[in-house]
């Protein structure tokens, strides 16, 4: 084989290799943190080592903003002591953060598949904007207060009367009898509009999900309704609470 052919073959092999899809399963940090840890025992373990332990047993991407934590008086050497059985990694982390910082609230959230640990005040300075379709939550459903009345007795009496006077007839509208339905349908004037429902939805979010973060309560986060969508500018952890409550 000539050198030119050998180089051409190598180039083809390299090109094929470059376009072969990467088959390694993507790391799902949220799912990894939902893993149940059979046994966790920490006796005055430094915080940094406790985080390393969680990173090791879960395989999750975990980043700690140590500069922010140290400015808040929380050291890498802050001791952690706890004993747990059959508890998720997520809950274990929450308990660790509560123990090392009872005064300064620490939080964690997943952003771009990385679990970030920082103070709440630092997280609140990092705003992101997301749009949520809410058409199914604010749609107006007509409320008919005077629906058709089903009155078989009245229709039967009318039919009997027809038979007695005319010697024939039938039931209902057949043969001249009365209808079993009394049509008296009317839309309730008090039905809420889509705008009314949207205002209620916005108010519900602002009053139940981190109330202090919203501008109406003195914070920086905003939420606007437009054309069956909510445009929300808020910290990542708040966005997570809005999009997946209860997780």
For residue range 153-211, list pLDDT tens digits in order. 655 665 555 555 555 544 444 444 555 555 554 555 557 888 888 999 999 999 999 99
Q: In this predicted model, what pLDDT tens digit does every residue of 64-86 receive, in sequence order?
A: 999 999 999 999 999 999 999 99
Residue 88 confidence class, pLDDT cut points 50, 70, 90: very high
pTM (whole model) above 0.75: no
Q: What percent of the chain has pLDDT over 90?
A: 49
8 Å CB contact between 169 and 163: yes
Note the residue count of the chain.
Answer: 247
pLDDT, the chain, mean: 79
The domain 127-141+191-243 is placed in CATH, from the list 1.10.1220, 3.30.70, 1.10.3470, 3.30.1370, at 3.30.1370
- Is it true that 29-123 and 127-141+191-243 share their CATH fold? no
The arrangement of secondary structure in 29-123, i.e. its CATH architecture, is: 3-Layer(bab) Sandwich (3.55)
The pLDDT value given to residue 240: 87
- How far CA 154 is from CA of 150, 159, 168, 175, in Å, comes to 9, 9, 18, 15
- For the chain, give every domain's residue range: 29-123, 127-141+191-243
Pairing verdict, β 229-235 and 127-133 = antiparallel
pLDDT reading at 15 higher than 50:
no
In degrees and rounded to multiples of 5, residue 17 shows phi and psi of -60, -40
CA angle 62, 65, 69 (to 5 degrees): 125
pLDDT reading at 25 higher than 50:
no
Beta strands in 68-156 (DSSP E): 79-88, 106-111, 114-119, 127-133, 149-150
Element housing 201 (H / E): helix 194-208
What is the distance between the alpha carbons of residues 170 and 162, in angstroms, rounded to a whole number?
8
Q: Sign of torsion, CA 228 232 238 239?
A: positive
Residue 144 confidence class, pLDDT cut points 50, 70, 90: low
Within 10 angstroms of residue 127's Cβ, the number of other Cβ atoms is 17
What is the distance between the alpha carbons of residues 113 and 134, in angstroms, rounded to a whole number?
26
Beta strands in 148-221 (DSSP E): 149-150, 181-182
pLDDT reading at 19 higher than 50:
no
Q: Sign of torsion, CA 236 242 246 247?
A: negative
220 contacts: CB under 8 Å, gap ≥ 6:
124, 127, 213
């Amino acid at each position: 084989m000539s050198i030119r052919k050998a180089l051409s073959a190598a180039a083809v092999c390299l090109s094929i290799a470059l376009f072969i899809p990467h088959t390694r399963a993507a790391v799902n940090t949220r799912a990894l943190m939902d893993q149940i840890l059979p046994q966790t025992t920490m006796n005055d373990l430094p915080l940094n080592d406790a985080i390393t332990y969680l990173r090791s047993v879960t395989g999750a991407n975990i980043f700690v903003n140590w500069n922010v934590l140290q400015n808040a008086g929380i050291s890498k050497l802050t001791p952690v002591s706890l004993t747990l059985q059959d508890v998720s990694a997520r809950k274990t982390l929450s308990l660790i953060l509560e123990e090392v910082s009872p005064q300064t609230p620490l939080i964690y959230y997943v952003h771009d598949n990385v679990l970030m640990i920082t103070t709440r005040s630092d997280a609140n300075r990092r705003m992101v904007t997301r749009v949520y379709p809410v058409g199914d939550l604010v749609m107006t459903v007509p409320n008919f207060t005077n629906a058709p009345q089903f009155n078989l007795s009245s229709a039967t009496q009318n039919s009997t009367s027809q038979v007695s006077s005319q010697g024939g007839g039938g039931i209902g509208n057949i043969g001249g009898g009365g209808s079993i339905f009394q049509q008296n349908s009317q839309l309730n004037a008090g039905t809420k509009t889509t705008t009314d429902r949207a205002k209620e939805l916005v108010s519900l979010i602002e009053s139940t999900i981190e109330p202090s973060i919203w501008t109406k309560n003195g914070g920086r986060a905003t939420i606007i309704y437009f054309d069956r969508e909510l445009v929300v500018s808020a910290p990542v952890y708040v966005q997570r609470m809005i999009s997946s409550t209860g997780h």
